[in-house]
């Protein structure tokens, strides 16, 4: 027997020999002794690598394309169509693309890559992932789940609205094309509320939502919207009931169909009169806007939400990948597909809005031309003011601008009394709106002027349904995956129960005042909580788990070392950007009065109203409830009041954690068993060099240490319950030649067994 074996050491000393954790964990799973250096007939010195089995019972994507489409469907949503174009127009047109692209590189791609990598590495949902990285911060996964719940409640209501408009589109003319006529006996008059606003605005607020004038007046349930919400939840439930087995197939259509519609709308829009004016207005850069902090804050927020960071859906989808999938390529690809989609949607929106602005401007010219004719006939204005080449029967915008300028100059003192509008195309283009106002008012009004308008309306709202469905599938996966990973419940039954509960909770949003609650949840339930969740994700990986250790994990997974760019982004740049974003968000919430835009029936206009005290308390309760798991889990685990949840992990998860410490065996055995420092005993060459950060930097963490922090150490030590080792047949006696064999052929000391 070798002099330095454990048995020899025990025979010559009475001191207690400390077993390494690697020794204890090595008995958890049967080893392949035929291929190990424990077998004299095997290959000496060959290292045992425990890989998680490919077929470990966890579902997997049928193909890489299915997975990419799922990530694209989740990240590309309604915000790309009705939020990005508005921000681009508001914040300097083409100049807005510069801060957006810069922040996409600094925040978007690195953090998206981080979420993809941790999900693929640990093969668990958000709760399991952050329990593994740091149990004290395990509340990150619970907060993500709660935010997904809040967002899913109101997001599916928007899908319900789209479903209602989709079925209403199978009519000619479209029901929102003209104002309804009110008949009083033989007298027929246009509905006053519609006449004061517009046909599409009236249809949205009165016939679709039938909204009340204040959030305090619930008005009872809106039956049409309740049925639409029920249909929306049935569709979502059918899509996610079997996990990725069903949602993956749905993504083939729901992710690709919106691009077909967007390209069709782009071709049709470019053929419309005034489309070029809209696109030119969109991309005319206002460079001075780039100096405003507000522009950068809104660009960062849009990047943040466009990729779905912090929701847990990204992590859940990537957890069904193979361990060696190239998630770096996926992160870059999906991020730039998202950016490309936003640009494509912006082109479509402003081509159509340019057409609408030209129609509105021509209507303005005709109405004001009739006013001028009336003033000429009543001798309020002199005919000498009208240029001789002007023909009022075919009054152009250029001729009207000339007449308007002359009258304004001559009648300077009494010009206001004439009530003439300037009818400037730029003013119409600046009236573009966002959110529901863009989709259900502005865009629908433009489509009423299309030839075959019902066809385009059906296509548009079917596209919105699919965009929303892709995001809802990701949101629901962010809820179901971590729960199913943590608790062994029936997948189909749990999914159905979630959808039923969500439908009844969603009745809050289908009251007549439900639109105001949608605005409340959109403003308060996700913004600040998700930003805090993502910065804690970044800090837990980069500063607690260790950026160098994480980069080494990525090298083991991907087969190549990621660029040092990601090291600096995760370690320094992204956390700083997120801290600035959180600070700006809190300041914005503090200085902006909390309120909502209420539709006032008597005025047929929207008016800003402050939230009543109970609604204000509800707003801040959404923020507190979403972030409450963070301190609760931290305190409970700090004082050992709560398990870290690792007893719920599967065998493959434990094996993957054993692989994480496989590189530690050589050095730890020399230190713990032989009682020598690592430098005194030569260790076998590791399979891959530990990543020590970018060249020229001093190592901040010891890559050979078992645990850089208490979080990581606690995670995998508690993950495996001690079990008796399997019965082993004693190895054949070693020949004396082993005491004098060359070091290259001797068995590794880390694999020596006690007889």
Rounded to whole angstroms, how far apart are CA atoms 731 and 531?
A: 57
The two three-digit tokens of residue 180, written as one number:
């309804």
- The span from the CA of 105 to the CA of 577, in Å, is 12
Q: Which of 458, 449, 82, 471 is nearest to 261 (CA)?
A: 458
Whether the CB-CB separation of 312 and 482 falls below 8 Å is answered with yes
- Three-point CA angle 410, 411, 413, nearest 5°: 125
Those residues whose C-beta lies under 8 Å from the C-beta of residue 668, and which sit 6 or more positions away, are 20, 21, 22, 704, 706, 750
274 is in an annotated binding site: no
Q: Dihedral (C-alpha) 649, 654, 656, 659: value to the nearest 10 degrees?
A: 160
Q: Are 388 and 436 in contact (CB under 8 A)?
A: no
Q: Burial-class residue 54 by CB neighbours within 10 Å (0-12, 13-18, 19+).
A: exposed
Task: Report yes or no: 70 and 267 within 8 Å, Cβ to Cβ.
Answer: no
Which residues, other chains included, contact 177 with Cβ-Cβ below 8 Å and sequence gap of 6+?
A: 199, 448, 453
Helices (H) then strands (E): counts for the chain: 34, 4
In this structure, are strands 181-184 and 595-600 parallel, antiparallel, or unpaired?
A: unpaired
The answer on whether 468 is annotated among ligand-binding residues is: no
The reply to whether 628 sits in an annotated binding site is no
CA distances from 677 to 305, 669, 670 (A): 50, 10, 7
The SS3 assignment for 354 reads helix
Rounded Cα distance, 626 and 143, in Å: 5
The answer to the question of whether 57 is labelled as a binding residue is no
For residue 332, which phi and psi values (nearest 5 degrees)? Answer: -65, -45
Which letter, b or e, does each residue of 93-125 get, where b requires 16 or more Cβ atoms within 10 Å of its Cβ? Answer: bebbbbbbeebbebbbbbbbbbbbbbbbbbbbb
* DSSP β-ladder status, 595-600 and 605-610: antiparallel
Q: Reduce the DSSP state of residue 553 to 3 states and report it.
A: helix
Q: How far is CA 624 from CA 402, 510, 526, in A?
A: 59, 24, 11
User: Do 709 and 540 form a contact (C-beta atoms < 8 A)?
Assistant: no
73 is in an annotated binding site: yes
* CA–CA distances in Å: residue 511 to residues 211, 397, 414, 505, 526: 8, 45, 49, 12, 22
**Contact status, residue 583 vs residue 302, Cβ threshold 8 Å:** no
289 three-class SS? helix
- The CA–CA distances, whole Å, from 745 to 33, 44, 662, 742 equal 17, 6, 20, 6
Tell me whether residue 471 is annotated as binding.
Answer: yes
CA 344 to CA 259: how far, in whole Å?
9
> Which 8-state DSSP code applies to residue 221?
B
Cis peptide before 173 (omega within 30 of 0): yes
Which residues does residue 55 pair with via DSSP β-bridges, in sequence order? none
Residue positions in the annotated binding site for Na(+)? 73, 76, 80, 338, 467, 471
Residue positions in the annotated binding site? 73, 76, 80, 338, 467, 471
């Amino acid at each position: 027997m070798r002099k330095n074996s454990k048995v020899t050491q025990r025979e010559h000393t009475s001191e207690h020999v400390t077993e390494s954790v690697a020794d204890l964990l090595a008995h958890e799973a049967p080893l392949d002794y035929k291929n190990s250096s424990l077998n004299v007939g095997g290959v000496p010195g060959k290292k045992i690598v425990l890989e998680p089995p490919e077929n470990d019972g966890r579902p997997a994507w049928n193909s890489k394309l299915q997975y990419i489409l799922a990530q694209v469907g989740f990240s590309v949503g309604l915000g790309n169509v009705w939020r990005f174009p508005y921000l681009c127009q508001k914040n300097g047109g083409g100049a807005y693309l510069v801060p957006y692209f810069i922040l996409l590189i600094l925040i978007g791609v690195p953090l998206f890559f981080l979420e993809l990598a941790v999900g693929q590495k640990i093969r668990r949902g958000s709760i399991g992932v952050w329990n593994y990285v740091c149990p004290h911060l395990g509340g990150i996964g619970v907060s993500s789940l709660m935010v997904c719940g809040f967002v899913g409640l109101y997001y599916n209501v928007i899908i319900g609205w789209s479903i209602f408009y989709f079925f209403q589109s199978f009519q000619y003319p479209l029901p929102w094309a003209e104002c309804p006529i009110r008949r009083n006996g033989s007298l027929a008059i246009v509905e006053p509320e519609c006449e004061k606003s517009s046909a599409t605005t009236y249809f949205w607020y009165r016939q679709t939502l039938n909204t009340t004038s204040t959030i305090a007046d619930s008005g009872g349930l809106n039956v049409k919207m309740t049925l639409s919400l029920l249909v929306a939840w049935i569709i979502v439930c059918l899509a996610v009931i079997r996990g990725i087995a069903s949602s993956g197939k749905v993504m083939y259509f729901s992710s690709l169909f919106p691009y077909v519609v967007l390209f069709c709308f782009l071709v049709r829009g470019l053929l419309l009169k005034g489309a070029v004016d809209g696109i030119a207005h969109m991309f005319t850069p206002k460079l001075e806007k780039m100096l405003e902090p507000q522009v950068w804050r809104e660009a960062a927020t849009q990047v943040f939400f466009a990729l779905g960071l912090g929701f847990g859906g990204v992590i859940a989808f990537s957890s069904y990948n193979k361990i060696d999938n190239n998630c770096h390529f996926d992160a870059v690809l999906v991020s730039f597909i998202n950016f490309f989609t936003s640009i494509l949607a912006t082109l479509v929106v402003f081509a159509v809005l340019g057409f609408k602005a030209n129609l509105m401007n021509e209507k303005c010219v005709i109405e004001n031309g009739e006013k001028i004719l009336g003033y000429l006939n009543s001798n309020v204005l002199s005919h000498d003011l009208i240029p001789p080449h002007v023909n009022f029967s075919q009054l152009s915008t250029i001729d009207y601008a000339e007449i308007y300028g002359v009258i304004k100059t001559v009648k300077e003192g009494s010009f206001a009394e004439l009530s003439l509008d300037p009818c400037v195309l730029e003013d119409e283009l600046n009236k573009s709106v966002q959110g529901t106002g863009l989709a259900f008012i502005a865009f629908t009004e433009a489509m009423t002027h299309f030839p075959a308008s019902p066809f385009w309306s059906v296509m548009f709202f079917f596209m919105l349904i699919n965009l929303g469905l892709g995001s809802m599938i990701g949101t629901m996966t962010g809820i179901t995956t971590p729960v199913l990973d943590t608790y062994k419940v029936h997948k189909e039954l749990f999914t159905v129960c979630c959808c039923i509960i969500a439908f009844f909770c969603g009745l809050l949003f289908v009251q007549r005042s439900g639109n105001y609650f949608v605005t409340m949840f959109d403003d308060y339930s996700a913004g600040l909580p998700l930003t805090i969740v993502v910065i804690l994700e970044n800090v837990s990986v980069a500063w607690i788990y260790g950026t160098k250790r994480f980069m080494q994990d990525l090298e083991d997974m991907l087969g190549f070392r990621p660029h040092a760019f990601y090291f600096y982004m995760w370690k320094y740049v992204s956390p700083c950007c997120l801290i600035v974003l959180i600070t700006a968000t809190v300041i914005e919430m503090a200085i902006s009065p909390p309120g909502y835009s209420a539709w006032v029936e008597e005025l047929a206009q929207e008016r800003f109203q402050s939230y009543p005290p109970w609604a204000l308390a509800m707003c801040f309760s959404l923020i507190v409830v979403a972030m409450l798991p963070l301190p609760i889990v931290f305190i409970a685990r700090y004082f050992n009041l709560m398990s870290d949840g690792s007893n719920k992990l599967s065998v493959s998860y434990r094996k993957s954690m054993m692989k994480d410490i496989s590189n530690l065996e050589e050095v730890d055995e020399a230190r713990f068993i032989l009682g020598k420092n690592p430098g005194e005993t030569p260790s076998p060459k590791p399979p891959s060099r530990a990543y020590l950060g970018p060249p020229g930097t001093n190592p901040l963490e010891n890559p050979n240490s078992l645990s850089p922090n208490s979080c990581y150490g606690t995670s995998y030590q508690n993950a495996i319950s001690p079990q008796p080792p399997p019965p082993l047949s004693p190895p054949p006696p070693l020949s004396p030649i082993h005491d004098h064999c060359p070091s290259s052929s001797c068995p590794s000391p880390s694999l020596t067994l006690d007889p």
